Amino acid sequence: MALTRRTLASGAVAALAAPVAAARETSLKAAARRSGRLYGCAVEPHRLDEDTGFAALAARECAALIPENAMKWDTVRHAEGRFDFAAADRLLAQADAMGAVVHGHCLLWHEALPAWFPERPDERLLRGHVGAVVGRYAGRVRSWDVVNEAVERNDRRPDGLRRSPWLETLGPAYLRMAFEAAHEADPAARLALADYGLEYDDVVWMTEKRGTMLALLGGLVKAGVPIHALSIQGHLRGEQAPSFGRPLADFLRRVADLGLEIYVTELDVRDDATAGDAARRDRNVADHYRRFLDTALAEPAVRMVCTWGLSDRYSATADFFPRPDGARGRPLPFDADLRPKPAAKAMRQAFGRI
């Protein structure tokens, strides 16, 4: 619309500018901040460099960034005998430019290991890796997923621990070693144990895993291991009943009663198995975000919520779980054209209700 002299004189420009200001005020970052939390997302640094529209959206919406892959072994240690911090350094610079904090992910995992990784990794390799990575970013990374996915009840250990290369070589003590090495390298960093499959009240293996996780966390805290948080990944399934009620609330409270913070670090909603057009799927995805966050955010110990991506344009979940009808998955708060979806509104409202 051409701005005529009369329009300019009438002060209508202020009205035109209002939506921009309003967008800033209703950002997920602002909504989360008003509830005393951080909101952020997982990103690949090259996406922020290559896609200015996406970078602007992330800067507007996110107060935290998680390196989706930039700090994993197969990125940082792809070549034996040396470290490659280029991607991780870039993400730290991008976060600094955005005024966002960084949640590091992940120091030890049984996946994303380089081809040279030994069958029996020893304590020297563990402590050397954790110390080098955490030490490089000491004072700049707010928190870390120190160990990712340590629990796997199907491995049939009495303690429910996953039979990872770390476990098989070093025993359960590998957990203490990892947290100690991270704490020594950066005493100010908040150190988390991360896992999936803790979200749904009506999935038996998940409720059983909650019990295993509570016992594990309690043992680590009792042993004086420097652990400060549980990261709940939060990968939700749109075709499942959104059962996020009192049992989830009680689980979160029991984690908090151990003196731990809680981070939701990989929130998204798979919609590859849900029927309907995009509008209907979006409403269902939004309902999952709303119900999960209404329960999670009622727990004061929940201090950060991050989605595993920000826009459906870049979603590993949509990539990994393609829909049979060929339509692209829509698991995130913003669509592939970077427009807010019902899920974004549901998240803003959930932050606002607390």
Q: In this complex, which beta carbon is closest to ligand G3I, that of residue 292 or of residue 351?
A: 292
Instruction: Report if residue 281 touches ligand G3I, rule: CB under 6 A.
Output: no
Residue 185 Cβ, how far from ligand G3I at the closest point, in Å? 21
Q: How far apart are CA 280 and CA 238, in angstroms?
A: 11
- Our finding on whether 266 is near ligand G3I (CB under 6 A) is yes
Q: Which helix (H) or strand (E) holds 201?
A: none
112 binds ligand G3I, rule: CB under 6 A: yes
Sole binder of ligand G3I in the list 111, 168, 239, 250 (CB under 6 A): 111
Q: Taking contact as CB under 6 A, which single stretch among the options 68-76, 123-131, 219-227, 329-337 is the one that binds ligand G3I? A: 68-76
Q: Are 343 and 74 in contact (CB under 8 A)?
A: no
Cα torsion 57, 341, 44, 302: sign: positive
266 is catalytic: yes
Rounded distance between C-alpha atoms, residue 136 and residue 84, angstroms: 12
C-alpha dihedral (159, 200, 266, 271), degrees to nearest 10: 140
Torsion angle of C-alpha atoms 2, 6, 9, 14, degrees rounded to 10: -40
**H or E segment at 57?**
helix 52-61
Q: Which of 7, 26, 35, 69 binds ligand G3I (CB under 6 A)?
A: 69
Cα Rg, the chain, nearest whole Å = 21
State the number of binding residues for ligand G3I (CB under 6 A).
9
Q: At what angle do helices 204-222 and 173-185 cross, to 10 degrees?
A: 60
The footprint of ligand G3I on residues 203-242 (CB under 6 A) is 233
Q: 180 an active-site residue?
A: no
Residue closer to ligand G3I (CB basis): 313 or 348: 313
In the complex, least distance from residue 214 CB atom to ligand G3I, rounded to whole angstroms: 20
Marked catalytic residue, from 44, 61, 68, 266: 266
Q: How far is the CB of 333 from ligand G3I (least distance, A)?
A: 16
Catalytic entry in 61, 149, 152, 299? 149
**Residue 164 in the binding site for ligand G3I (CB under 6 A):** no
> Closest-CB residue for ligand G3I?
316
**Nearest-angstrom CA–CA distance, 217 and 68:** 25
Q: Which stretch binds ligand G3I (CB under 6 A): 50-58, 66-74, 170-178, 338-346?
A: 66-74
Site for ligand G3I in 313-332 (CB under 6 A): 316
At its nearest, how many Å lie between ligand G3I and the CB of residue 265?
A: 8
The two three-digit tokens of residue 50, written as one number: 């290559």
Is 335 one of the binding residues for ligand G3I (CB under 6 A)? no
| CA pair distance 179, 98, nearest whole angstrom | 29
DSSP label at residue 315: -
Closest CA to 279 of 337, 341, 324, 340: 341
Q: Which is nearer to ligand G3I, 68 or 261 (CB)?
A: 68
Q: Which amino acids are annotated catalytic?
A: 149, 266
Residues in contact with ligand G3I by CB under 6 A are 68-69, 72, 111-112, 148, 233, 266, 316
